[in-house]
Amino acid sequence: MDLNKTFTYALKEGDNACRGVRVEVPLGSQSVTGFVDSVEESDLSLQQYSEKAGYQIREVIRVIDDEPILNEELYQLGLWMGHQTVSPNIACFQSMLPSKMKPRSNRKQSVVEYYVHLIDETRATSEKQKQAVELLRQGDVLRSDLNRAYPGISAILEKKGAVEIYGKEKTADVSELDIREADYDLTQQQVEAIEKINKSEKDVILLHGLTGSGKTEVYMQLAAQKCREGRQVLILVPEISLTPQMVTRMVSRFGHSIAIYHSKLNDQQRYEQYQLVRNHQVSIVVGTRSAIFMPFDNLGLIVLDEEHDHSYKQDSTPRYHCRDVAVHRAQYHHCKVILGSATPTLESYARAMKNVYELVELKNRIHQNLPSSHLVDMQSEIRRGNYIISAPLEKAIRNRLDNHQQAILLLNRRGYTTIMKCRKCGKIIQCPHCDIAMSYHKDENKLMCHTCGSEMSADMVCPDCGSNNWIHQGLGTQRLYEAIQEKFPEARILRMDADTTRKKNGHREILEAFERGEADILLGTQMIAKGLDYPNVTLVGIFNADALLGRTDYRSVEVTFDLIVQASGRSGRGHSAGEVYVQAYDCHHYGIRLAVRQDYLGFFKNEMEYRHIGDYPPYKYMIAICFASIDQQKARDLAWSASEQFREDETIRTLGPSQLTRIADEYRYRVVLKGANRDQLIETVWKWHDGLQINRGQMKIRIDVDPYVLD
């Protein structure tokens, strides 16, 4: 199956096109938009050319762009990405462009401005006219500006023949830099970090620093430096709605030199931000994953903040990782990439250990030492009858309420309880489309599938035995909210999860209310673990901290470690010391113990051993191929035949196929390839895919190079 078929069309007389320009062409009975890959001149007529080709060549209906919307660098980037991710080039181009770059919006909406030009100053008579002429002697003035100073004057002078008025298309001016200084001095370790980064000969820097150690300030210093050199800067962040403070800080530092680019903008806003970069009206972009494709032509620095965050990996075709694209673009622009994190991925830290990346560390927090952390064994708490809130955490919450300080409580599970189970026969209600238990949402008395989104009423009798006696098991944010409110009736609690943030700006409203001190407790899912910086928060409580360890995924310990460390970092960021309580059932697990101690290096060493034994990244590269179909037989057969073909290659290890849970009515099978050489793995998959003959309507093949998780 050929993913990158190109088609030949003829340009109409007088039409021009080149690589990277979009065209509207007929395809079958439809008309579709395509990208021009190459243009060839020919003396032959359309008829002659068709005869030579052996098929009827059709004409391009319309050339959409005057100039390529993807310049050569971005066009090549798309091709490279397609190859690296084993996906169609066109899918790459599509994910590189804001969706508004559709045919019509590209027609320039030019704005004309009118200027006044002096031709004969002797014709000015009145005092006011003479003053205006004086002004015009120094150069042409915008008509609107002149009339603001001397109302109605331009028409009078024009009538007298003293001036002429002409229109000129308004062009975007390159903005002057708008950079303010920090209102504090850099710490010694920040100064040293900046020096080390500037001196480094490596292309990629890993900036490893605790939360609150001043990494963001380092980014801003380096960004200002690059802008003053006339170069552009890209700062990538995981999710803007969850880190409004980061944006506020950047905007107050860089004023109108900055563009903000993220998925919550509407199409028009995204398009405008894109054009700001294209026209050099901004020097700095702060954005989420797709901002990596902005049309920079003179990049001086790329920063990936929280580089471990999984939002940097796209989970639909093309499944690229933003870090890889960043490194690739930085090579083209001869600039550095800074990866910043308190909990770097094992891949990045291992590269730093091997001297592929430069390791720069910020070892101390700016204001405070780390919060003191406590691990609470829930097994023994339950024996004392404390099912949800442990005694030490309860005491700590009470203490915060008494002292008017704030607390953040994290539970990685929304909904009321996890599952609904029949008391009589033990049946667990599952999603009819996925082999996954439905979550009970008490507010709406509904069962919801958190995987495919389907819902049903919770008013039901057991489909197996007819009983209507249900047990609700597990703990969700709704239930936790109730439990806390019961214990602390006077506490003002805000809940933040996918249910309470569904409406536009939902995140922002909740976070801002918390920041203004309108609540004592912010309770939520992992959304509240990242980036928040509230000085009055001195307590963080984490419930079911080891719940994620139960997953079979190779990265589950890393994800658990990150979550605990990141969430702990929210506590004690101001001048009062912070505390963290981590509630877990399996308190002996190294992932939990080391996270509570904030011991990244200890965790790294332990986890690397496990990855080594299991042949997982960073020791080996992986490609996961998922076969999905409504037709179980078809999915299974294709997965088996693929795995047999891969097994013939002795340089790679082929695992599976293994059957995954059914999701949204699709049966899924997965084959995993492991190998020491990434390029070779990719070549192998391409070769297999090229030889494949399948009906794409009946079978979906999802290829994931460097899968972030395998669960």
List of residues contacting ligand ADP (CB under 6 A)? 184, 186-187, 190, 209, 211-217, 366, 533
**Does the protein bind Zn ion through residue 282 (CB under 5 A)?**
no
Closest to ligand ADP by CB, 299 or 532: 532
Q: Residue 425 binds which one of ligand ADP, Zn ion, none, with CB within 5 to 8 A depending on kind?
A: Zn ion
**Does the protein bind Zn ion through residue 589 (CB under 5 A)?**
no
Q: Residue 634 binds which one of ligand ADP, Zn ion, none, with CB within 5 to 8 A depending on kind?
A: none
Q: Residue 533 binds which one of Zn ion, ligand ADP, none, with CB within 5 to 8 A depending on kind?
A: ligand ADP
Least distance in angstroms from the C-beta of 668 to ligand ADP: 39
Q: Residue 214 binds which one of ligand ADP, Zn ion, none, with CB within 5 to 8 A depending on kind?
A: ligand ADP
Least distance in angstroms from the C-beta of 367 to ligand ADP: 6
**Does the protein bind Zn ion through residue 433 (CB under 5 A)?**
yes
Least distance in angstroms from the C-beta of 667 to Zn ion: 14
The one-letter amino acid code at 417 reads: T
Q: Residue 135 binds which one of ligand ADP, Zn ion, none, with CB within 5 to 8 A depending on kind?
A: none
Closest to ligand ADP by CB, 85 or 216: 216
Closest to ligand ADP by CB, 213 or 583: 213
Using alpha carbons, select from 529, 518, 458, 463 the residue that is nearest to residue 494. 518
Least distance in angstroms from the C-beta of 425 to Zn ion: 3
User: What burial letters (b/e) apply to 363-386, b meaning 16+ CB within 10 Å?
Assistant: ebbeebebbebbbbebeebeeeeb
Q: How far apart, in whole angstroms, are the C-alpha atoms of residue 564 and residue 541?
A: 10
Pairing of strands 579-584, 537-543: parallel
Q: Residue 564 binds which one of ligand ADP, Zn ion, none, with CB within 5 to 8 A depending on kind?
A: none
The count of chain residues that interact with Zn ion, using the rule CB under 5 A, is 15
Query: What are the distances in angstroms from CA 12 to CA 41, 42, 68?
Result: 12, 13, 18
Query: Are the CB atoms for 707 and 693 separated by under 8 Å?
Result: no
Identify the helix (H) or strand (E) that includes residue 277: helix 267-278
Using alpha carbons, select from 288, 339, 243, 253 the residue that is nearest to residue 569. 243
CA angle (137, 143, 145) in 5-degree steps? 85
Helix (H, G, I), strand (E, B) or coil at 645: helix
Binding mask 593-612 for Zn ion (x = CB under 5 A): --------------------
* Alpha-carbon torsion angle 509, 513, 515, 517, nearest 10: 180
**Does the protein bind Zn ion through residue 425 (CB under 5 A)?**
yes
Closest to ligand ADP by CB, 209 or 524: 209
**Does the protein bind Zn ion through residue 528 (CB under 5 A)?**
no
Least distance in angstroms from the C-beta of 474 to Zn ion: 17
Q: Residue 215 binds which one of Zn ion, ligand ADP, none, with CB within 5 to 8 A depending on kind?
A: ligand ADP
Q: Residue 216 binds which one of ligand ADP, Zn ion, none, with CB within 5 to 8 A depending on kind?
A: ligand ADP
Pairing of strands 204-209, 358-362: parallel
Q: Return contacts of 183-189, CB within 8 angstroms, 24+ apart.
A: 186/214, 186/217, 186/221, 187/214, 187/364, 187/366, 189/213, 189/214, 189/362, 189/363, 189/364
Least distance in angstroms from the C-beta of 405 to ligand ADP: 17
Q: What tokens were used for 542?
A: 């984490």
Least distance in angstroms from the C-beta of 215 to ligand ADP: 3
Q: What tokens were used for 169?
A: 């298309």
Least distance in angstroms from the C-beta of 180 to Zn ion: 50
Q: Residue 465 binds which one of Zn ion, ligand ADP, none, with CB within 5 to 8 A depending on kind?
A: Zn ion
Query: Are the CB atoms for 411 and 482 separated by under 8 Å?
Result: no
Quote the longest CA-to-CA distance of the chain: 104
**Does the protein bind Zn ion through residue 422 (CB under 5 A)?**
yes
Site for Zn ion in 455-514 (CB under 5 A): 462, 464-465, 467
**Does the protein bind Zn ion through residue 449 (CB under 5 A)?**
yes
Least distance in angstroms from the C-beta of 239 to ligand ADP: 15
Q: Binding residue for Zn ion (CB under 5 A) from 378, 431, 527, 682?
A: 431
Query: Are the CB atoms for 329 and 299 separated by under 8 Å?
Result: yes
Q: Residue 572 binds which one of Zn ion, ligand ADP, none, with CB within 5 to 8 A depending on kind?
A: none
Closest to Zn ion by CB, 267 or 315: 315
Strands (E), 325-451: 336-341, 358-362, 372-377, 406-411, 419-422, 439-441, 446-448
Q: Residue 452 binds which one of ligand ADP, Zn ion, none, with CB within 5 to 8 A depending on kind?
A: Zn ion
Rg (CA), the chain: 30
Closest to ligand ADP by CB, 190 or 556: 190
Q: How far apart, in whole angstroms, are the C-alpha atoms of residue 469 and residue 457?
A: 15
Q: Residue 462 binds which one of Zn ion, ligand ADP, none, with CB within 5 to 8 A depending on kind?
A: Zn ion
Q: What tokens were used for 13?
A: 């007389």
Which residues, 6+ apart, have CB-to-CB distance to 22 below 8 Å?
33, 34, 35, 36, 63, 64, 65, 69, 103
Least distance in angstroms from the C-beta of 506 to Zn ion: 23
Closest to ligand ADP by CB, 214 or 707: 214
The one-letter amino acid code at 516 reads: R
Residues of this chain that interact with Zn ion (CB under 5 A) are: 422, 424-425, 427, 431, 433-434, 449, 451-452, 454, 462, 464-465, 467
